[in-house]
Structure 1
Amino acid sequence: MIRVTILGAGNVAKHLYSAFYNQQLVTIVQCYNRRGIPLHTSQKQDTVTSNINALKEADVYILAVSDDAIKGISELLPFTNRLVVHTSGSVPMSILNNANRGGVFYPLQTFSKDKDIDFSTVPFCLESKNVEDLELLKKLTYTLSEKVYSISSEQRNILHVSAVFVNNFTNHLFSIGNDICTTHGVPFEVLHPLIHETVEKITKMNPDLAQTGPAIRNDSKTIERHLGILTDTTQKEIYQTLTKAIQSKYGKKL
């Protein structure tokens, strides 16, 4: 049995609590957050504390907190020589206080409050200072997912930058598309099949081979018509920037 304590009260902390809750090989010893609020409706109040000095003994302490809070909380932990890991994609393992054995337990996925996560599909990027702790983290991860990767802090940061492009920036483009549809009275849901096909396609082939559209075709007339439709200055700038980027990559000229 692996004893786990979760520190934090955000989306990652809550999703991890739900994921571990029904695992036979994992026991959630305790949860900590400053307000002392439960992470799940089924959680008993006596398993939550707002007093960091009242943390009980566990095998793994998971800091599922904001990037800026990781260092400070790791320095406040009232014990030494225990395995303390954070869940950040961009923060190096070295940020953790050396009083404890440091590691990283990074689920590479986007977490929203009201959207359930199928953890069996989630890749986990693991890192630790010693082999024994890495094996423990792997054992813990395998209770949730078979997608386990030993990734250094440098590699994880590269993955995180890539993830910002494929998730955060892409979602912002979806938001812009929704805004344009709303402005002109067109239902955004008409684009849902296209979005699904685009995402599905790049799981089966190199994204370079999947690129389509007026930019790669150098269809200047369509590009000008699109720019004429857009009234928002920022939307125009994004359209032009991405058009130039696509044409630059694939050898087209404006």
Structure 2
Amino acid sequence: MIKVIIIGAGNVSSHLYQTFSKAKEVDVVQVYNRNHEHLNFVNEPEKRTSNLEQLKKADLYLLAVKDEAIRKIAEKIPDNKAVFAHCSGSIPLTELSLFENHGVFYPLQTFSKNKPVNFKEVPVCLEANSAKNLEFLKKIASAISDNIFEVSSKQRKALHLAAVFVNNFTNHLYALAADYCEKNELPFKILQPLIKETANKIETLPPFSSQTGPALRNDQKTISAHLEMLDDDQKKIYTILTDSIQKLHGKKL
């Protein structure tokens, strides 16, 4: 059985702990966080630690912490024959080069602590400093996911940016729409079937081909009417997105 230690207590850490705990091939021997109170998600109290000097021996140390903390924590952990991997989408592999065996174990998903995720469907992006370490990470990743990808640091950085567009920015638009609905005494749930269909559509169609709406049609009357209904900040967002859609599809404002 592969012994794993998870460093961190955020959303990614808690989901990795829960998922690995159900995997027959993996044994989570310890979870570290500086604040011991944040380790309540770890069911076994004996596996919680807030002291890096008390870390046990393991085959894999996963640093699932904030990007700026990866190097700082890594420098406090003595090197050994284990593989040390971080879970960041934007930090390069070389950030852990102080360890003889190092890699990246990046699960590409949005995680909330109390929202279950089917990890079998989560893409896990891997990178390592040797073929042997890469195969080791593949073995561990395959214990929890059916979607495993070899992704370089440069590719992963681009992927992380793309993820910001499809997740963070999109969710912000949901929030703006929800606020607009509330101000007009409309329930946001009316839009949920549309949101689901939009997401489902790109499973069979490229996003470019599935684009609809007044910007694509160059419907200036509707666009002008929409702009009249928005405040200054909303107008900026609407105009930028409309312009972007029309440039991508070869239309003019």
TM-score of the superposition, structure 2-length normalised?
0.97
| CA distance 1:38–1:24, change in 2 (3 Å) | farther
Query: Deviation of residue 239 (structure 1)?
Result: 0.2
Q: Which residue of 2 aligns with 1:139?
A: 139
Could you tell me which residue of structure 2 aligns to residue 252 of structure 1? 251
Q: Distance in 2 between matches of 1:225 and 1:56?
A: 64
Whether 1:238 aligns to 2:237 is yes
Measure, in 1, the Cα distance between the counterparts of 2:115 and 2:206. 29
Please tell me whether the aligned partners of residues 38 and 44 of structure 1 are also in contact (alpha carbons under 8 angstroms).
Answer: no
Question: Quick one: distance in 2 between partners of 1:215 and 1:113?
Answer: 37
Report the AA paired with residue 28 of structure 1.
V
Report the CA distance between 1:150 and its aligned residue: 0.9
The CA distance in 2 between the partners of 1:120 and 1:142, in whole Å, is: 9
Could you tell me which amino acid in structure 2 is paired with residue 78 of structure 1? P
Is the CA contact (8 Å cut-off) linking 2:42 and 2:48 kept in structure 1? no
Partner of 1:157: 157
Shift of 1:78: 2.4
Could you list the runs of 5+ residues in structure 1 that have no partner in the other structure? none
Cross-structure match for 1:67? 67
What is the RMSD of the two structures over their aligned residues, measured on CA atoms? 1.2
Cα distance in 2, alignment partners of residues 247 and 228 from structure 1:
20
Amino acid at match of 1:172: H
**C-alpha distance in 2 between matches for 1:18 and 1:100:** 28
Q: Trace 1:24-173 onto structure 2 (pairs within 5 A).
A: 24-37=24-37, 39=39, 41=41, 43-173=43-173
By how many angstroms is 1:54 displaced? 1.0
**CA distances 1:36-94 after superposition (whole Å, capped 9, x unpaired):** 24645562222111110111110000000001101111111023342100000111010
Percent of pairs with identical residues: 49
Matches of 1:153 and 1:30, distance apart in 2: 28
After superposition, give the CA deviation of every residue in 1:133-170 in whole Å (9 maximum; x if it has no partner). Answer: 11111111111111111111011111111111111111
CA contact (8 A) 1:38 1:45 kept: no
* Contact 1:60/1:83 (<8 A) preserved: yes
Aligned match of 2:18: 18
Measure the CA separation in 2 of the matches of 1:92 and 1:171.
Answer: 27
Q: What's the secondary structure of 2:34's corresponding residue?
A: coil
CA contact 1:127–1:152 (8 Å) conserved in 2? yes
Q: 2: distance between equivalents of 1:37 and 1:85?
A: 24
Task: Give structure 1 regions of 4+ aligned residues with deviation exceeding 6 angstroms.
Answer: none
**Aligned match of 1:206:** 206
Q: For the Cα contact (< 8 Å) 1:13–1:39, is it kept in 2?
A: no
- Secondary structure at the aligned position of 1:178 is classed as helix
The answer as to whether partners of 2:105 and 2:126 remain within 8 angstroms in 1 is yes
Pairs within 5 Å for 1:219-230? 219-230=219-230
Tell me how far 1:113 sits from its aligned partner: 2.0
Question: Could you tell me which amino acid in structure 2 is paired with residue 187 of structure 1?
Answer: P
Contact between 1:61 and 1:85, CA under 8 Å: does it hold in 2?
Answer: yes
Q: Give the paired residue count.
A: 253
Alpha-carbon distance in 2 for matches of 1:50, 1:157: 30
TM-score (norm 1): 0.96
* Counterpart-to-counterpart distance in 2, 1:98 and 1:48: 26
Letter paired with 1:238: I
Q: Secondary structure at the match of 2:228?
A: helix
Letter in 1 for 2:222: T
1-structure distance, mates of 2:150, 2:2: 20
